[in-house]
Amino acid sequence: MQRASALRSHAGQSPGRRRGIRAAALAAAGVMALAACSSAAGSDSTSAGGDDGKGASGPAKIAITPASDTSAVPVDKTVTVRVGSGKLTSVKVIAPGPGTLDGSFSKNKGSWTSGAELAPGVTYTVEASATGSDGKTVTEHSSFTTAEPSKAQTFVGEYNVDKGSTVGVALPVSIVFNKPIHDKAAVERRLSVTASPVVEGAWSWMKDRNGKDRIDYRPENYWTSGTKVTLRMNLDGVDAGGGLYGTQTRKIDFTVGSAVVSTVDVVKKTMTVTKDGKKLRTLPVSTGKKTFETWNGTMVVLSKVPTIRMDSSTVGIFGPDAYDLGEVKWDVQLTPSGTYAHAAPWNEGKFGVVNGSHGCIGMSTKNAKWFYDQLHYGDPVTVIKSKETVATNNGYGDWNVDWAEWQAGSALK
């Protein structure tokens, strides 16, 4: 894995002094003598074993620093390209992650100096061309590798889609970073999501439930079934600020599956499930009782497990309302805070009649098994007529934010 930093502007290096050779006629016993002459300090002309194009005709001679095949080059090292007997016509310094390194030519194009810090742990290639005073073009190639960053200087992002997977229509692309991102705009520029058919989407920053920086991408509305999506993370070389550099280059392709959409009405105590716009079933359910109301708004399926132990202490419920239900079957997780749709045989008789849970969506074992079989990672479950709306960072509550507000969460706005 390559590691790199973003390109940061810093003070440019002043061009070196030039030295030229010029002829001077001296009338001394008919003998012609040569005199060496140094230019004044601060000249922007640079030579590499020759003059700056104003002297005798000759081929261009290009010199590149750091020298080719140099390793462990400090990131604060300046890249310089100089030419003698000619002028530089192009200079390109690139690395796979950071991309092209910025720089500038001297006024007479006798030299080029980088104007941004190098990225750590990557190999740069240099290609420089110059036209000599003989009118011929010369090209030189070089490469060098920068010093590896320490672990404390690097960050990574954990993403929520697997290569080649099929996901539900409501799954946003989500990346959680293991360290604070100070320059969010620099990181966001290195992230992209493309889709076929094309759909407009946007990134939006937030804090994850664990306090870590997180960025999600979603379209204005759910993905269309059958859409092919590609996430690209070109984070090698990105400077996130605070001395942190990215260490990832990823390309993840995934597909959007059937549109399985569930709507829970807490007043009617029903859940209606549709697939690709066609109603499959309406199930009687029991949702959260008073003071434990089920979250309102759209939640997204995070996982499915056939059996799980449900103990209220794991979600911070103690005292008179504490419970330990033992092994619970056909569990569809909707939030990391503990919202599930699952079998609740102990509430038999309440389904469609009374809301008696601690916030989960309960149903008969038979209906729970059927629901479990229909739902997949990324499918939406929307609760209506309840109270408090699920937080955006409590799982994927992204769809509860209106489109204008969502777009405003981009660091590039």
CA distance 161 to 255: 10
Q: Which of 37, 182, 360, 376 is catalytic?
A: 360
CA distance 100 to 112: 14
State in Å, rounded, how far the first CA of the chain is from the last one: 31
Catalytic annotation present for 376: no
The answer to whether 342 is a known catalytic residue is: yes
Q: Is residue 297 within 8 Å of 392, Cβ to Cβ?
A: no
**Nearest-CA neighbor of 190 among 250, 122, 149?**
250
Residue of 10, 37, 182, 342 marked active site: 342
What angle (nearest 5°) sits at the alpha carbon of residue 309, between those of residues 306 and 312?
135
The helix (run of H) or strand (run of E) holding residue 201 is strand 201-207
Structural Rg of the chain based on CA atoms: 32
Given CA atoms 410, 246, 170, 396 in this order, what sign does their dihedral have?
Answer: negative
Distance CA(102)–CA(112), nearest Å, equals 10
> In angstroms, rounded to a whole number, what is the distance separating the alpha carbons of residues 16 and 52?
12
For residue 249, CA distances in Å to 27, 195, 313, 375 come to 69, 19, 40, 32
Gap between the Cα atoms of 60 and 52, Å rounded = 10
| DSSP 8-state symbol, 187 | H
301, 307, 313, 314 alpha-carbon torsion, rounded to 10°: -40
Cα-based distances in Å from 204 to 67, 173, 398, 399: 43, 10, 9, 12
Phi, psi dihedrals of residue 152, rounded to the nearest 5°: -65, -15
Burial label for 150, CB within 10 Å (0-12, 13-18, 19+), is: exposed
Residues with catalytic roles: 342, 360
